[in-house]
Amino acid sequence: MSSKNKNSKTGIKAIFILEIIGRPKEHLTQTLEKIIESISQEKGVKLIEKKINEPVELKNNKDFYGTFAEVEVEVEEILQIAILMFKYMPANIEIIEPELIALSNNGWNDILNELARRLHAYDEMARVLQIQTAKLQKELKEHGFEIKDSKLVKKDDSENKEKTEKE
């Protein structure tokens, strides 16, 4: 049995809020345009409406800008919403219709298996990054470097600096 929504002739409508920060200011709008274009090209996704807001400078980070887009889409199955969520990582998702979405156990299986697949992939990436970080730190140490206060310093320099500061 399919997980297609049988309560609505038009499918499932949702609004995604996509947030982005960075620089230069002009790049943010272009990037959101590309992301929205990618969303509209996804299988089974119909772009209904989009609104990209003007980038504004961040208060605590001068020369960095932030903006967001509101993207309304229509899909046939709730699984497509889950896939879009994992692929594009929106800040917020609001399903606007239908009010009630009933799923068969196969529908839930599809969603939960997609969730498990993505979580396993993220876990694998995190493990690889941990191993690479440990390897790099070991190599740095072997070459007389260390990371202090998020800065790379030569061990001899930091020891000499500490001795000088104590004298």
Q: Residues 63, 83: contact at Cβ < 8 Å?
A: no
Domains of the chain with bracketed CATH: 12-103 (3.30.70.60), 121-166 (no CATH)
Cα-flanking dihedrals φ and ψ of residue 11, to 5°? 95, -160
pLDDT at 166 over 80: no
Residue 126 CA to residue 167 CA, distance in Å, equals 44
Q: Which helix H or strand E contains 16, and what residues bound it?
A: strand 12-22
Tally of CA atoms within 13 A in the half-sphere of 8 that contains its CB? 20
Which of 2-6, 38-42, 135-139 bottoms out in mean pLDDT, i.e. has the lowest? Answer: 2-6
Q: Per-residue pLDDT for 4 more than 50?
A: no
Rounded Cα distance, 140 and 145, in Å? 5
Judged against a pLDDT cut of 70, whether residue 3 lies above it is answered with no
The predicted pLDDT at position 8 comes to: 41
Q: What is the pLDDT of residue 154?
A: 85
CA distances from 56 to 20, 31, 65, 130 (A): 11, 15, 5, 35
Q: For residue range 59-102, list pLDDT tens digits in order.
A: 888 889 999 999 999 999 999 999 999 899 999 999 999 999 88
151 band by pLDDT with thresholds 50, 70 and 90: confident
Strands (E), 32-125: 45-52, 56-57, 65-75, 92-97
